[in-house]
A and B are shown apart, each in its own frame.
Chain A
Amino acid sequence: MKITFNDAAFAALRTSVAANALVRGKAEKIAAAANNSPPTTDTPLEEPYYEVHEAGDENRARYRIATTSRRASRHEAKTFALQQALSSDG
């Protein structure tokens, strides 16, 4: 039996509105959980520690969660808030 993959169809599925919303929702849930981590200093950041960036291409929907500043990176190094949110799936 010969199987032929329809790569264009896979790409269309993975970049569809529904797939994009699914991936974005997951990333936003994880980022929100990470941002709920308590600050480690007396003066918490005004802005969120983590934010979601769209990083998809023509083949797939993709989002990245990144720290927003050097201070937020230090927060992650001390608390592992994003790693914990990833570990527990938000």
Chain B
Amino acid sequence: MADLLVYPDMTMVARKYLLAGLAEQGIVGVTVASRIPSPLPEWFVRCFALPGRETCKRVQWCQVIVQVYGTSDEFCSQMARICAAVMRNAPEMELDFFDTGEKLSLVSEPCELTGPFSTEDPDLPDWPLFQFNLVWTVQNQLWMP
């Protein structure tokens, strides 16, 4: 049987990086979701990965979008800058992504950050919103059935 190299679910990976990185800064209880939550909390973070592109058999180039929704531009801007710093630091972090007890580093350099910048969600036009984008270099893993 051939060995399979499988890429992780990058939306899950991004969410775990963000929650762990925020917790290290003492920011806990944050709603981080890939879709708009319902009911709407006072503030929340939307975080999801776009389809990636393989650069070689072991590595994929992947974009992650992070959006901070909140009650004011000032709050969203500050929280987005903290989240951006956490996510930019992903290549330095090791986490137990698959609940196996093994800490892994799935993201490496080059890691590029664009933003944060103010934008608008047509579905929530009254909500202040700051977004940043990341380009991550992602390693795949040997599939262990």
Contact = CB atoms under 8 A, between A and B. Distances in A.
B52 to A, nearest CB: 7
Contact of A87 (B52, B119, B121, B123): B52
B65 A88 contact: no
Contact of B51 (A77, A78, A87): A87
B53 interface: yes
Interface residues of B, number: 14
Interface string A72-87: 0010011010011011
B40 to A, nearest CB: 17
A78 B50 contact: no
Interface in B62-90: 62-63, 65
Interface residues of A, number: 10
Contact of B53 (A78, A83, A88): A88
Interface of chain B, main secondary structure: loop
Interface in B110-145: 119-123, 133
A54 interface: no
Contacts of A88: 50-53
Interface in B17-66: 50-53, 61-63, 65
A17 to B, nearest CB: 28
Given A83-B63, A83-B65, A74 B50 contact: no
Given A78-B123, A83-B63, 8 more contacts: A77-B119, A77-B120, A83-B50, A84-B50, A84-B51, A87-B52, A88-B53, A89-B53
